[in-house]
Amino acid sequence: MTPVLVPRKKAWRGSKTSRRNTGYPGVPQWVFALAAAGGLFVLLPLAAMVSRVNWGQFIPLITSESSLMALGLSLRTSATSTVLCIVFGVPLALVLSRASFPGQRLLRAFVLLPLVLPPVVGGIALLYTFGRRGLLGRSLELAGIQIAFSTTAVILAQTFVALPFLVVSLDGALRTAGTKYEAVAATLGARPTTVLRRVSIPLVLPGLASGAVLSFARCLGEFGATLTFAGSLQGVTRTLPLEIYLQRETDADAAVALSLVLVAVAVAVVGLSFRRSRALAPEAGSE
């Protein structure tokens, strides 16, 4: 009775062929034990947090003015940052996977750097770029543009940390898809922009979707770079993670309630994306 896990595999892969018939015995039992421990390690802290929620006060806590403003700001800035990630991330991924030029590998390494950089380091780097005495900030200040302590700073911080997530997923999808269809389209007389619009992008749409979702989730959780670079003011720069951090000082109940909201939003976003990418998968997953 192995099939307990097989239907799930099917759903994930979105393919009609099951592994049941291949004669492959499946995953060794000891792997299940370690996987269970790994799963517990993730789920247990979440369960522990849920157990600490003060349900009697839950609704008043999450609907207080400061909470709603923080949630609204988080959703707005994360959406804007995700759009920026798509606008700049898609071209970056295309250039990294399809073109070839000197310094390409170096460029890839640097674009992916924020993935492994502690966010607070990102915040300091942004400060020295867009800050008042920064590389670009000085000129911006003279032009009357102030970035520090503004919502723009929050969006910059989020885009900085989230961009590599989109580039990585899309780069992978583009490499997996290969260039066959694009080559055919080109021989049929399609111009590069038409090929990109009609062939390349539709082909990697699931990768793009999951990349965008990952970026959005990363934006939503951004804390360190925002704290270092943007400051913290209700309705302007205090996003939900910053609000949680502040509430923790005096009101643990509020911090836990808001954390749960953030978990719920994240779960909803990730859940939604899986359903969408599954719906998109058969179209592009042609082998």
Partner 1 sequence: MSIFRMRISALLAACVVAAGLAGCANVTTDKAPSASTGGTQAVARSVTVYAAASLKSPFTEIASEFEAANPGTKVTLNFAGSSTLVSQITQGAPADVFASADSRNMAELSAAGLIDGTPINFATNVLTIAVPSADPALISSFTELAKPGIRVVICAPQVPCGSATEKLEKATGTTLKPVSEESSVTDVLGKITSGEADAGLVYVTDVKTAGDKVKGIFFSESNQAANTYPIATVGSSKNKELANAFIGVVTGSEGKKVLGDAGFGTP
Going 129 to 130 to 136 to 142, the CA torsion angle's sign is negative
Q: Which is nearer to partner 1, 156 or 163 (CB)?
A: 156
Cβ proximity to partner 1, 39 vs 282, nearer residue? 39
Residue 79's region, left for phi above 0, alpha for psi from -120 to 50, else beta, is: alpha
The residue among 252 and 272 lying less far from partner 1, judged by its C-beta, is 252
Contact flag: residue 29 with partner 1 (CB under 8 A): yes
Q: Compare residues 149 and 181 and give the one whose CB is closer to partner 1.
A: 149
Nearest to 124 by CA among 215, 226, 233: 226
286 binds partner 1 (CB under 8 A): no
**Nearest CA among 244, 81, 234 for reference residue 157:** 81
By CB atoms closer than 10 A (0-12, 13-18, 19+), residue 14 is middle
Interaction between residue 132 and partner 1 (CB under 8 A): yes
Residue number, 30 or 101, with CB nearest to partner 1: 30
Q: Is 20 helix (H, G, I), strand (E, B) or coil?
A: helix
- Residue selected from 114, 119, 131, 241 as contacting partner 1 according to rule CB under 8 A: 131
Tokens (6 digits) for 217: 């989730």
148 binds partner 1 (CB under 8 A): yes
Record the tokens describing residue 268, joined without a space: 């909803």
Helix (H, G, I), strand (E, B) or coil at 286: coil
The binder of partner 1 chosen from 6, 252, 263, 268 (CB under 8 A) = 252
Window 43-82: contact mask with partner 1 (x via CB under 8 A) = ----------------------------------------
Backbone φ, ψ for residue 42 (5° rounding): -85, -40
194 binds partner 1 (CB under 8 A): no
Residue 113's Cα: distance from chain center in Å?
15
Q: Is 135 in the site for partner 1 (CB under 8 A)?
A: no
Interface residues toward partner 1, by CB under 8 A: 1-2, 4, 29-30, 32-34, 36-37, 40-41, 127, 131-133, 148-149, 227-228, 231-234, 237-238, 242, 245-252
